[in-house]
Structure 1
Amino acid sequence: MACRMAVSRRAEMGEAGFRHYLQILARQREHVAAVASAERAAKLQEGAENAAAWSALRARAELWMRVPRRTQSPSPLAAAPSSPTPLNLLLPSGPPRARPVSNSRRERYRTYLRQIVAEAGQGGQPPATGPVAAAVQASTLPGRLCGFCGGGCCTKGGEQAYLTAAGMRRLMAERPYLSADAVVDAYLAHVPDSPMAGSCINHTRQGCSLPRDMRSDICNRYACDSLQQLQAALSESAPVQTVLVVRRKQDHWHRAELRVDNAINGRAILREDGTRTVRAA
């Protein structure tokens, strides 16, 4: 089809113009092929690095599991049958630095909050929340996984924090005593002095500054591929008890880009009773 379209333009372009046009098409095809080749090479390289890192982590985990440990509050899953096979997971990274929040950023957030609160007040039913599996709720591993990532999926939150009118409608239904202005003020009261740079305005080193019931539906429900794999492994009859995590520099949204540094910047062994970070050999 592309060849027929190119030939159909020959008469209107003339011979010289048509040759130039074909040269442009050839360069475009070469560029697309080069990008695809570079992407394949990068994936192969990262795959080999990940495999080596997981292998080293597995050896460390076997040593760690031989050492008796005491916990103040054992996990309710500790006595349950568990899978002896560790789960290998790959994570992105959240931003490394915090930055004082500017007045202009706070005002952009205020403007957006007023907009969605006003929209929520126009009526409609709040969306229903879905149940979370009991085994996933009981485990400490999802929290440990997200904590080691540091918010790699939060970086597009900006001054909207993934909040929507639908989520506000639910909150306002749960707190009918709050006026629209009071809802906005409640959110502004949780803005940290120094959120993480280049991320959601509510993103701190300790996680989200908002209480769980004030967070967006996206924040409460979203699970990246690695978290989904962990949730599935926890829902098995013999849930996973050891997770080997390799973390790379880029966030969730930029990790596939070719011209960025996405080297491994963290390794960890996660268990119900603790997290052990491992330095590169």
Structure 2
Amino acid sequence: MLIFLSLDVSGDMVDYSDMYRNGEYLRKNPTWDVGDSPWKAEQILQMLLEHNIRACTIGEVGCGAGEILVNLQSAMGGDCVFRGYDISPQAIELCKPKSNAKMHFFQRDLLQESDINLDVLLAIDVVEHVEDYLGFLRAIKDKATYKVFHVPLEFFALSTLHSEFLCKQRLNSGHLHYFTKDILLQIFGELGYDVLDARYTPGYLVSRGHGWKDDLLYMPRRIGFLLHKDLTVRIFGGYSLLVLAR
């Protein structure tokens, strides 16, 4: 079972998973980012195809509203079976109308499923939400042959200068951890993952409308990325890391 418990400043125990169970996350994020799902599914599918991975079973931990799996099924068709897991009852309610003979959703903790052996397991924008993310990464390692991770790179130069940015990500989006590319890849290596591919994804191009500061960074991010990818991401942010690992 994933542990989300911690102490707040008053000394009371805090369960960070409560926001996903009691509806708080849905209230703060009413769309559950479904608008980004077609784009994310496209990035995932492209990576799988480039590595000639033909999956018969694809699961997703923290599937949210299930739209990534829906888009993958639409693109892949065939006999692939999809299984989405989420601890949020609100998320699973959003998923239920999307179920079909080869698309199944479960309000369960995937880590408690001892008999899971998938071809591909997705953890898309999930790692940053899990308090014990190291334990989480260890636990899912043997749940599938291939794992696909998508993690926002929110620890960049401007985010450390903007005093409210990371706090807002924690309060509104439930992000408990902030990563760089180098830190993520080091963690995967330390945990015994074999990283087959790691690439930046420009989320800022998809999720527009976050205010004038985000608009101001649009051109520096886009032009800078053409000149020096790593340096641009470290300074201006706006990117996530898509990782394929065994």
Task: Give the TM-score normalised by the residue count of structure 2.
Answer: 0.25
Larger RCO (alpha carbons 8 Å, 6+ apart): 1
Task: Give the TM-score normalised by the residue count of structure 1.
Answer: 0.22
Work out which of the two has the higher radius of gyration on C-alpha atoms and give 1 or 2: 1
**Structure with more strand by fraction:** 2
